[in-house]
C-alpha cells in the first residue's frame, strides 16, 4: 500500500475509536433492564477490524473483555464468505472461545460499500441463560448443559431480516423475558458502533483507515514493549489456592504460573496448574486469559490504548484439562471468578520483581444472588448482590488500597445497586451497607476497607445462591503490610436458627423475614504499619474505621478515647520497641 502515514491522523483515529465504544456503552446502559447491566454495568462494548482484531474497547468489566476479539476471529472463520450486511450474530459458547455462559455477545459486521471493514460487538451478563438454575449459577452442575443454553455463533438477523424461528428457539430456552429485551439493547448498541465506524471510514477513506490502523497497532505494541523492557528478564513463579469446588468440602486446587520475561516479551505459562474439577469451578481459556491480561495491565502504564497491538507481546499458555481451561463438556459458570485467585498467583510472582508496581492482595470475590417472586407485584425478580461483594483492594507503595471497590476483575467498574432502587426492584429491606471497621490490612499504606451488608429477605420460597472464595485465606499484605479480613455470608432464619453459607452454595426455600448478613473483607496492607503517620491513624480512629485496640496493636498508635488525639509518649514507646522500616 502506498498510503502516506500521517502520524497526527493516527492519534485522531485512536481518539475516535475510543469515543465510539464509549457511545455504545452509554446506549447499552440507558436501555437495558437487568440491574446487572444498567446499574452495575456488567458488560463490555468494542470495535474489531475485518479479521476480528481488537480496535478499541470500553471495558466496564474487564474479565469479559478479552474474549470478544478471539470470538470475533472465530466467527469470521466460521461463516467464511457468508457474512452479509445486516447480519447480527449471537454467541456465548464457552467451547468456542466464550468466557462464561451467561455472558452473551452480539456481533454486527460493518460493511463499507461491498467490503467488510470491521465489527461492532457487545457482551453483557444476562440475568438468565436457561440451564437447571435461574441466573445460571449451579454448584451441582457437572456438564455445560446443566448450566446453560449453548449458543455457538448463530445468526439472529440475516441480511437485515430477523430469523424469527432462531430467535424464538433461543428465547424459548430462557426463563426471563427481560433477557430478550436486553439482547435487543445489545443489538441497538452495535448499531451505534456501526454508524460511528462507518462515519470514520467514509471520512478518511478505507485505504487510509487500514494503513493508519496498522500503524496504531504498531505504536501501541511499541508502548507495551517499552513497559516490558522495564521488567528485569527472568523466570518467575507464583501460585495461589482455590478453596472448595462446591462439591467436596475442604477441597483445594492450586494455580501455578510461570512467568518468563525475555526482553520485550512476556509469557504466562499455566502448565503446572491443577487439573479441572468435576463441578462448575472451572475456567475457560478466554476467562483465564482475560484474568491474566487485566491483572498485568494494572502493572503497566494505564494510558496504553486497548487494541490488538497491546496484546501482541503477551503470550499465554493454558493447557486444556486444567482448572483454568476445562475440557469439553465441563461445567464452567464459576470460571470468571477464578480471576482473583489467578491474579494472586501473578502478583506473588511479580511482586518481588517490580515491587513499586504490584499491589498487596485484593479481597477475593464472594457474591450472592437472590431470586424469588416479589409478593408486592407477584412477578419474579433476580438480584445480584453487587453492593455486598465490594471488598477492598490491596495497597500499593505510596497509596492506600481503594475502599469498597470489589473484585479485581472489575476494579471499580461495577457499581452498587442504588439502595432505594434495590427496595423498589426487590422485596428486601436494607438494614446496613457500611464500611467494616478494622477490615483493612494494616500497613504504612493500609488496604482498602471491606463492607458489611445486611438486609431482610422479603419473599417466601426465596433462592439464595453464593459463589466465590476468600473465607479461608485473606488478602495478603506485602512488604511488611498485614493481611485483610475474610469473607462470609450468613442467614438468620425467622425462627432464630443460623446458617453459615459455604462459598459455593444453593439454599432453597428461604423464608420471608430471614436476615441476610455479609462481610466482604478488606485488602492487604503495604509496608510496616508502624511507619504509618500516627495522626493519620488517629484520624481513622475518629472516623470509626479503625478501633482503638487495632490502632494500638497493629499500628503502635495510642489514641486517647476521649479526645481522640494521639498520646505521643506512649505511641513513641511502643513504636520504638522494634526496628521500623519506613518505605
Binding to another protein (CB under 8 A) within 345-364 occurs at: 359
Give the x-and-dash track for 439-468 against another protein (CB under 8 A).
Answer: ------------x--x--------------
Which of residues 184, 553, 568, 581 is near another protein by CB under 8 A?
A: 184
- Closest contact distance (angstroms) between CB of 326 and another protein is 27
Q: Which helix (H) or strand (E) holds 384?
A: strand 379-384
Three-state secondary-structure class, residue 380: strand
Which of residues 140, 146, 219, 502 is near another protein by CB under 8 A?
A: 219
- Closest contact distance (angstroms) between CB of 29 and another protein is 7
Nearer to another protein, 214 or 403 (CB): 403
Nearer to another protein, 33 or 267 (CB): 33
Residue 396 and residue 358 in contact, taking contact as beta carbons nearer than 8 Å: yes
- Tell me if 33 contacts another protein by CB under 8 A: yes
Nearer to another protein, 82 or 303 (CB): 303
Nearer to another protein, 548 or 580 (CB): 548
Q: Among 142-150, 160-168, 431-439, 529-537, which window interacts with another protein (CB under 8 A)?
A: 431-439
- Tell me if 577 contacts another protein by CB under 8 A: no
Give the x-and-dash track for 544-563 against another protein (CB under 8 A).
Answer: xx------------------
Ordered DSSP codes for 286-348:
HHHHHHHHHHHHTTS-TTS--SHHHHTTEEEE--TTBTTBPPTTB--GGGGGGHHHHHHHHHH
Q: Among 4-12, 48-56, 149-157, 508-516, which window interacts with another protein (CB under 8 A)?
A: 4-12
- Closest contact distance (angstroms) between CB of 577 and another protein is 30
Q: Among 273-281, 290-298, 460-468, 474-482, which window interacts with another protein (CB under 8 A)?
A: 290-298
Asked if residue 329 has a cis previous peptide bond (ω within 30° of 0), the answer is yes
Restricted to residues 299-318, the positions that interact with another protein (CB under 8 A) are 301-305
- Closest contact distance (angstroms) between CB of 487 and another protein is 16
CB neighbours of residue 15 within 10 Å:
12
- Tell me if 54 contacts another protein by CB under 8 A: no
Nearer to another protein, 235 or 431 (CB): 431
Sequence-separated (6 or more) residues with CB below 8 Å from residue 222: 309
Strand pairing class (265-269; 314-317): parallel
Residue 448 and residue 440 in contact, taking contact as beta carbons nearer than 8 Å: yes
- Closest contact distance (angstroms) between CB of 153 and another protein is 23
Nearest to 14 by CA among 192, 206, 214: 214
Which of residues 186, 400, 483, 528 is near another protein by CB under 8 A?
A: 400
Sequence-separated (6 or more) residues with CB below 8 Å from residue 367: 337, 384, 385, 386, 388, 389, 466, 467, 468
Using only the alpha carbons of the chain, give its radius of gyration. Answer: 24
CB neighbours of residue 446 within 10 Å:
34
Nearer to another protein, 255 or 396 (CB): 396
- Closest contact distance (angstroms) between CB of 196 and another protein is 9
Q: Which three cell numbers stand for residue 541?
A: 480512629
Nearest to 100 by CA among 129, 142, 70, 69: 129
Restricted to residues 139-168, the positions that interact with another protein (CB under 8 A) are none
- Tell me if 91 contacts another protein by CB under 8 A: no
- Closest contact distance (angstroms) between CB of 306 and another protein is 9
Residue 326 and residue 276 in contact, taking contact as beta carbons nearer than 8 Å: yes
Q: Which helix (H) or strand (E) holds 54?
A: strand 54-59
- Closest contact distance (angstroms) between CB of 400 and another protein is 7
Q: Which three cell numbers stand for residue 519?
A: 462481610
Alpha carbons 243 and 323: distance in angstroms, whole number: 12
Restricted to residues 109-138, the positions that interact with another protein (CB under 8 A) are none
Q: Residue written as cell 505510596?
A: 398
- Closest contact distance (angstroms) between CB of 251 and another protein is 31
Which of residues 5, 169, 226, 317 is near another protein by CB under 8 A?
A: 226
Q: Among 13-21, 152-160, 270-278, 332-340, which window interacts with another protein (CB under 8 A)?
A: 13-21
Nearer to another protein, 118 or 447 (CB): 447
Q: Among 247-255, 337-345, 407-415, 554-562, which window interacts with another protein (CB under 8 A)?
A: 407-415
Alpha carbons 525 and 483: distance in angstroms, whole number: 6
- Closest contact distance (angstroms) between CB of 432 and another protein is 4
CB neighbours of residue 492 within 10 Å:
16
- Tell me if 398 contacts another protein by CB under 8 A: yes
Three-state secondary-structure class, residue 493: coil
Which of residues 157, 285, 386, 530 is near another protein by CB under 8 A?
A: 386
CA atoms within 13 A on the CB side of 273: 33
Asked whether the CA dihedral 168, 171, 173, 175 is positive or negative, the reply is: negative
Alpha carbons 58 and 63: distance in angstroms, whole number: 12
- Closest contact distance (angstroms) between CB of 397 and another protein is 9
Nearer to another protein, 399 or 498 (CB): 399
Count of residues that bind another protein according to CB under 8 A:
84
Helices (H), 378-514: 386-389, 419-425
- Tell me if 222 contacts another protein by CB under 8 A: yes
Total residues belonging to the chain:
583
- Tell me if 27 contacts another protein by CB under 8 A: yes
Give the x-and-dash track for 228-267 against another protein (CB under 8 A).
Answer: ----------------------------------------
Alpha carbons 250 and 324: distance in angstroms, whole number: 19
Q: Residue written as cell 445489545?
A: 186
Nearer to another protein, 286 or 411 (CB): 411
Which of residues 25, 38, 331, 462 is near another protein by CB under 8 A?
A: 38
Amino acid at each position: 500500500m502506498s498510503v502516506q502515514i500521517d502520524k497526527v491522523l493516527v492519534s485522531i483515529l485512536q481518539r475516535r475509536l475510543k469515543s465510539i465504544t464509549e457511545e455504545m456503552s452509554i446506549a447499552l446502559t440507558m436501555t437495558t433492564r437487568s440491574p446487572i447491566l444498567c446499574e452495575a454495568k456488567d458488560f463490555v462494548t468494542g470495535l474489531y477490524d475485518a479479521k476480528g482484531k481488537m480496535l478499541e474497547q470500553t471495558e466496564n468489566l474487564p474479565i469479559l473483555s478479552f474474549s470478544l476479539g478471539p470470538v470475533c476471529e472465530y466467527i469470521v472463520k466460521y461463516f467464511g464468505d457468508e457474512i452479509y450486511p445486516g447480519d447480527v450474530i449471537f454467541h456465548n459458547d464457552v467451547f468456542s472461545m466464550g468466557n462464561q455462559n451467561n455472558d452473551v455477545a452480539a456481533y454486527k459486521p460493518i460493511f463499507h460499500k461491498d467490503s467488510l471493514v470491521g465489527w461492532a460487538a457487545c457482551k453483557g451478563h444476562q440475568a438468565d441463560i436457561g440451564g437447571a438454575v435461574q441466573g445460571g449459577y449451579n454448584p451441582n452442575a457437572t456438564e455445560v448443559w446443566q448450566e446453560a443454553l449453548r449458543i455457538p455463533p448463530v445468526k439472529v438477523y440475516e441480511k437485515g431480516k430477523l430469523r424469527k424461528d432462531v430467535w424464538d428457539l433461543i428465547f424459548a430456552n430462557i426463563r426471563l423475558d427481560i433477557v430478550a429485551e436486553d439482547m435487543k439493547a445489545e443489538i441497538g448498541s452495535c448499531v451505534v458502533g456501526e454508524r460511528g465506524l462507518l462515519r470514520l471510514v467514509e471520512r478518511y477513506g478505507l485505504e487510509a483507515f487500514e494503513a493508519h490502523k496498522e500503524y496504531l497497532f504498531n505504536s501501541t505494541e511499541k508502548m507495551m514493549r517499552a513497559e516490558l523492557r522495564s521488567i528485569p528478564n527472568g523466570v518467575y513463579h507464583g501460585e495461589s489456592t482455590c478453596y472448595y469446588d462446591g462439591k467436596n468440602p475442604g477441597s483445594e486446587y492450586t494455580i501455578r504460573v510461570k512467568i518468563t520475561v525475555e526482553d520485550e516479551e512476556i509469557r504466562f505459562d499455566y502448565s503446572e496448574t491443577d487439573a479441572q474439577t468435576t463441578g462448575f469451578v472451572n475456567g475457560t481459556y478466554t476467562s483465564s486469559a482475560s484474568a491474566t491480561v487485566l491483572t498485568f495491565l494494572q502493572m503497566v502504564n494505564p494510558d496504553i490504548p486497548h487494541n490488538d497491538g497491546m496484546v501482541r507481546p503477551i503470550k499465554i499458555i493454558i493447557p486444556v484439562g486444567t482448572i483454568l481451561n476445562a475440557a469439553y463438556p465441563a461445567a464452567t459458570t464459576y470460571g470468571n471468578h477464578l480471576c482473583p485467585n489467578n491474579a494472586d498467583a501473578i502478583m506473588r510472582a511479580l511482586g518481588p520483581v517490580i515491587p513499586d508496581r504490584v499491589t498487596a492482595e485484593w479481597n477475593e470475590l464472594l457474591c450472592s444472588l437472590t431470586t424469588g417472586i416479589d409478593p408486592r407485584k407477584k412477578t419474579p425478580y433476580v438480584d445480584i448482590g453487587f453492593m455486598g461483594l465490594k471488598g477492598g483492594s490491596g495497597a500499593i507503595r505510596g497509596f492506600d488500597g481503594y475502599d469498597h471497590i470489589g473484585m479485581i476483575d472489575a476494579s471499580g467498574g461495577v457499581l452498587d445497586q442504588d439502595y432505594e432502587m434495590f427496595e423498589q426492584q426487590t422485596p428486601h429491606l436494607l438494614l446496613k451497607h457500611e464500611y467494616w471497621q478494622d477490615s483493612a490490612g494494616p500497613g504504612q499504606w493500609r488496604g482498602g476497607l471491606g463492607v458489611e451488608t445486611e438486609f431482610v429477605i422479603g419473599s417466601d420460597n426465596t433462592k439464595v445462591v453464593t459463589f466465590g472464595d476468600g473465607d479461608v485465606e485473606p488478602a495478603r499484605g506485602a512488604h511488611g503490610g498485614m493481611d485483610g479480613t475474610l469473607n462470609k455470608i450468613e442467614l438468620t432464619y425467622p425462627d432464630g436458627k443460623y446458617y453459615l453459607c459455604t462459598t459455593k452454595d444453593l439454599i432453597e426455600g428461604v423464608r420471608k423475614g430471614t436476615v441476610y448478613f455479609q462481610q466482604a473483607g478488606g485488602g492487604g496492607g503495604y509496608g510496616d504499619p508502624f511507619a504509618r503517620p500516627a495522626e493519620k491513624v488517629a484520624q481513622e480512629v475518629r472516623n470509626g474505621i479503625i478501633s482503638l485496640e487495632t490502632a494500638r496493636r497493629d499500628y503502635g498508635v495510642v489514641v486517647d478515647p476521649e479526645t481522640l488525639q494521639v498520646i505521643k509518649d506512649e505511641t513513641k514507646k511502643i513504636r520504638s520497641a522494634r526496628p521500623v522500616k519506613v518505605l
